[in-house]
Amino acid sequence: MKVATALIITFFWVILFVDCILILNQYNEYRVYTKPLLVPLLYILMAVQTVNTTHRRSKFFIGIALLGCFAGDLFLLKGDQYSYFVAGLTSFLVAHIFFSIFFYRLKPFTRKRTAFIVIISCLTVGYFVLFLTAMWTKIQDQNLALPIMIYSPVIGFMALTAIYTITGRRVRRLAMRNFIPGAILFVISDSLLAISKLYSAFLKDDIMLLLNILVMVTYGLAVFLIVTGATRFIKR
């Protein structure tokens, strides 16, 4: 089991590295052989370690979230067409809903932690308000106002539920090591993706390449951290 786990993890990082090399060299047509492998590898990693779990619902929610991520990866690989981009957003929206359900089940909100919830909510809302305000002209120009306005609160809520898990004693270590950094990296990745999408016509090629690599690195780290953390919980 340990050998299989090590091989899957190694393969994941190798594929992510190769995908970034393909981005750097602008061989985007070959990314259909790399990017779509990342999420299935993480699902296999979870599956092989949680065969006899009693946390079947948690495993189901993470599985559906990964399915959303996988679909989103496929749609976003289709290019910059409006329909594919919106389909990709929708797929990741589903993923974030199920990640949120998983996190919330780990540590439901309580009145005792109202102040904590309000503070994190204000920070999250403040970030998205500032970000969307700065991007609003470009968002409207590309007719993305509605999908982005729907998507932003969902990923924001996912981040809130992930951060809130730190208040649970039995998952505090996982929260600090996996869930919180994973959720934050997801927000960063999606923010960078939005910038690359909205400003692609105005940025130099080398800046776009750097942005696209950063999107993949932060995304890969985000999903890896969340799934490995979830796996550690599920296999208990």
Q: What is the pLDDT of residue 78?
A: 85
- Tell me the CA distances in angstroms from 231 to 21, 160, 178, one per residue in order: 29, 20, 11
Q: What is the pLDDT of residue 2?
A: 83
Q: What is the pLDDT of residue 205?
A: 84
Q: What is the pLDDT of residue 62?
A: 98
Domain membership of residue 19 as a residue range: 2-234
Mean pLDDT by 10 residues, the chain (236 residues): 90 98 94 97 96 94 98 89 93 98 97 96 97 95 94 98 96 97 98 91 86 97 98 93
Q: Total structural domains in the chain?
A: 1
Q: What is the pLDDT of residue 203?
A: 81
Q: What is the pLDDT of residue 76?
A: 94
